[in-house]
Amino acid sequence: MSADEKLTYASAGVDIDAADDSKHRIKKLVESTFTAGARGAFGGFGGMFRVPEGAKKPLLVASADGVGTKIKTAIEADRHDTIGHCLVNHCVNDILVQGAKPLFFLDYVAFGKLIPSVVEGVVAGVSAGCRENGASLIGGETAEMPGVYTPPDYDLAGFIVGWVEEDQVITSAGVKDGDVLVGLGSSGLHTNGYSLARRIVAERLKLGPHDVFPEHGGKTVADVMLAVHRSYLPLLGGALHHVHAMAHITGGGIPGNLDRALPSHLDAVVDTTAWDIPPLFRVLEEAGQVDRAEMYRAFNMGVGMIVITDTAGASYIRDLAAQAGVANWTIGHIRPGTGRVHLV
């Protein structure tokens, strides 16, 4: 390119036409998530949402997250329609542990080179997650950032706002000596541990995204690794009056998350023999020669949510889980201590 040649935004790597195409593709997807509280039209400068009617002392509960390097598996497999669903469900679970239910969601997707069909796939997943959980997708940002991301890489983040009545907030203050721990099954890796899992799959198992994953009935690596992060809102949303506290098992595993649900004078004892570790984690452990303690720090090990409740509450929640087809176990108890988690 000569020094006197006219430059354009496109020549600098930003394609406005592709951005306009993307907006056209996602309009109906976004509008399909609108609940009664959503206000305003698609494409506004800011999203609007009506405060729930009948609320007495509502607290807004907000959270932001991403999907980590799970997104690399989606890129390598060229499968983009589940990663957004994972993002929404992760965020929903994070506010659920405080007793909050979703109001609205915003997403942020940043590309090295914007590809409208990929944007459409990602937003289709976000929209599916919003519809599953009753959240309105009221805004977001799709950015093209040449020089920051190398095509075909992109990144994804989400922001959720929910609400709960002030006198119904769930905290560690509700946990009591003698309470029991109910483990609710995960749908796979969820959105954590992928940097280790991807390395094991690529370097030790020597498998690509379309190869068959061991011990999974012919499912491919992409099928297993891109399984949608389970939302526990459909199961627990109507049972929160039985919940003393909860822990969403994300980065840090059981020991790194259950302690966040404990008061300083109580410990949690987790019986790791109470459930069968799913084949996915056994394959990764054996192929990667990963110590068992490290497995519990990196992965959820088949337990995506832990509910702390009393005996009656445990029976009620386990019955609900069984009816919903969600694996569940009584996996431990609460005892006097100093706010620590013991895996036994």
In the sheet that holds 266-270, the strands lie side by side as: 245-248, 303-309, 180-185, 328-336, 266-270, 341-343
The residues spanned by each domain of the chain are: 10-168, 172-343
DSSP alpha helix (H) spans, 178-244: 194-199, 221-225, 233-236
CB atoms within 10 A of CB 319: 12
| CB of 130 closer than 8 Å to CB of 35 | no
| CB of 135 closer than 8 Å to CB of 33 | yes
- CATH second-level architecture of 172-343? Alpha-Beta Complex (3.90)
| CB of 74 closer than 8 Å to CB of 82 | yes
Position 126 scores a pLDDT of 98
- Asked, as a colleague might, if the bond just before 52 is cis with ω within 30 of 0, I would say no
Nearest CA among 127, 129, 103, 124 for reference residue 48: 103
Position 271 scores a pLDDT of 98
Position 230 scores a pLDDT of 98
CATH no. of 10-168: 3.30.1330.10
**Residues lower than pLDDT 50 in the chain:** none
| CB of 243 closer than 8 Å to CB of 182 | no
Predicted TM-score (pTM) above 0.85:
yes
Position 53 scores a pLDDT of 87
Position 270 scores a pLDDT of 98
Position 2 scores a pLDDT of 62
